[in-house]
Amino acid sequence: MEDIGKELCERVREVFEQRNISNAFMVRLKDEIARGTATMRDTSLYSQTLGINLRRAIKEVVTPDELPDSTLYYNIAHSILEPLLRDTYEDVNAVCAEVQRKLDGKAGIHLAPQKADFPAERVRAAAGSASVKDTAAHGIEVLERTSENITAAFSDDYMKANADFRNRAGLDTYIERRDDGKCCEWCSKIAGRYSYPDKAPRDIFRRHDNCGCTVEYVCSKGRQNVWSKKWVSEPKKIEYSKPTVLTPKEAEELEKRLTEEQNRGIIKEREMANGHRRSRDYFLNDEDISFVNSEAQEIGVPLDILRFNSGVQTGFRDSDQKIYIRGDIFPDETSKDNRDLLSVRATLAHEYYGHYKAHPSPYDIGDWRDEFNASYRAAVDAPNLSVEDRARLMIDAYDRAKEAGQIIDYDETARRIIYG
């Protein structure tokens, strides 16, 4: 099956490359790069154009008739998608770096461009999502859509990696997100210029399927004293987020809804993700849900007890014995807090082996002993966890006690799991 995937990949690559060669915008951008007139916004558009061309190439080549048993198996989906995305990843990072060098030269900045990490986990999730659809046609459609979205996001990943690096280097750094005039309400609200990282929204680099927004970063040394030749930071403009103004009727309806939800017990979930993690308000798309489901299956969590994009936060609810999954199922990889870094699989283990399997709990929701036991049980009982996942869960258990003012020494099991 992998041979079929590799064959299809090569055929897609040929069509894809021909589309790129004949694309007037890409030809013009390459010329502007050579002349030193391209901007970082151009690189965002370049990344989007690559994604569109890749989607169209897959659509042209990959059909149900080309697949064994008219089925898009995971190995085939991954064999098609991963090499092509590796190609576009290298291309986008190279273009971004070249444009950055030209701009830095004009500004007198001498910092090496930073290459973003390749999102291997996201690519695997995309292949998994495409392979579990009811029909091959639907799976191919997911393959097309995710190839475009991931490619478009490569420039965003580059922007984030370099904005982080330059901010640490002491440069004034700003993120500018612009919509394309045909955007959704979410994109419209998040568009703007923000001081980075202090004022930038957490999801400033996120994009959904068919998103036409561009994201770029701007940095400078500030202003230079013409006599001393020393750089002085410009005073930063204070930027405020736009407040949401409710009419009296809207306020009344919101208050009523929140009251009803509290009465139903919706906000009384036994949560795992009460650190920073990803925002619980992030809406999980099909690709996210497919990935979470695959992680759940790996550790034996029944999929019929999972409820997505519902409830207030990720957690187990006593009232209906279901696990509610929101955006905070995903870790915050920029954090140094152990709980924020727990993987999706470890978080699911906490909720299922820690809370669901132990229902009913003798402790009230929020009691440190309930959360201690949940993480401890998950670290010991959950199958198919990595060594790191088990160690982080065990550390989390003892962190729960410490946060409640209870100092407990590691027992023999904890020491073995944490230290090996």
pLDDT 10s digits, 105-149? 887 777 788 888 998 888 998 888 888 888 899 999 999 999 998
| Domain count across the chain | 2
Q: Tell me if 292 is assigned to some domain.
A: yes
Q: Does residue 220 surpass a pLDDT of 70?
A: no
Tell me, yes or no, whether 27 and 151 share the same domain. Answer: yes
Specify the pLDDT at position 243: 42
Specify the pLDDT at position 390: 92
Q: Tell me if 52 is assigned to some domain.
A: yes
Instruction: Give the C-alpha separation, 25 to 41, whole Å.
Output: 13
Q: Quote the crossing angle between the two packed helices 120-131 and 286-298, to the nearest 10°.
A: 90
Tell me, yes or no, whether 253 and 166 share the same domain. Answer: no
Tell me, yes or no, whether 275 and 129 share the same domain. Answer: no
Give the chain's mean pLDDT: 79
Q: Tell me if 147 is assigned to some domain.
A: yes
Q: Tell me if 196 is assigned to some domain.
A: no
Specify the pLDDT at position 223: 33
Taking only the tens place, the pLDDT of each residue in 253-310 is 545 554 444 333 333 445 554 445 677 777 888 888 999 999 999 999 999 999 998 8
Tell me, yes or no, whether 282 and 160 share the same domain. Answer: no
User: Confidence band (pLDDT; 50, 70, 90) for 335?
Assistant: confident
Other Cβ atoms closer than 10 A to 169: 11
What is the arithmetic mean of pLDDT over 352-358?
93
Tell me, yes or no, whether 162 and 32 share the same domain. Answer: yes
User: Of 112, 135, 170, which marks where a domain is finished?
Assistant: 170
Domain of residue 366, residue span: 248-419
Characterise 183 by phi-psi region: left (phi > 0), alpha (psi -120 to 50), beta (else): beta
pTM value is 0.49
Specify the pLDDT at position 345: 95
Specify the pLDDT at position 275: 47
Q: Does residue 331 surpass a pLDDT of 50?
A: yes
What is the arithmetic mean of pLDDT over 327-352?
88
CB distance 97 to 105 below 8 Å = no
Instruction: Give the C-alpha separation, 261 to 265, whole Å.
Output: 6
User: Of 125, 144, 170, which marks where a domain is finished?
Assistant: 170
Q: Tell me if 137 is assigned to some domain.
A: yes
What is the arithmetic mean of pLDDT over 381-388?
91
Q: Tell me if 403 is assigned to some domain.
A: yes
Q: Tell me if 236 is assigned to some domain.
A: no
Tell me, yes or no, whether 136 and 254 share the same domain. Answer: no
CB distance 317 to 269 below 8 Å = yes
Tell me, yes or no, whether 299 and 161 share the same domain. Answer: no
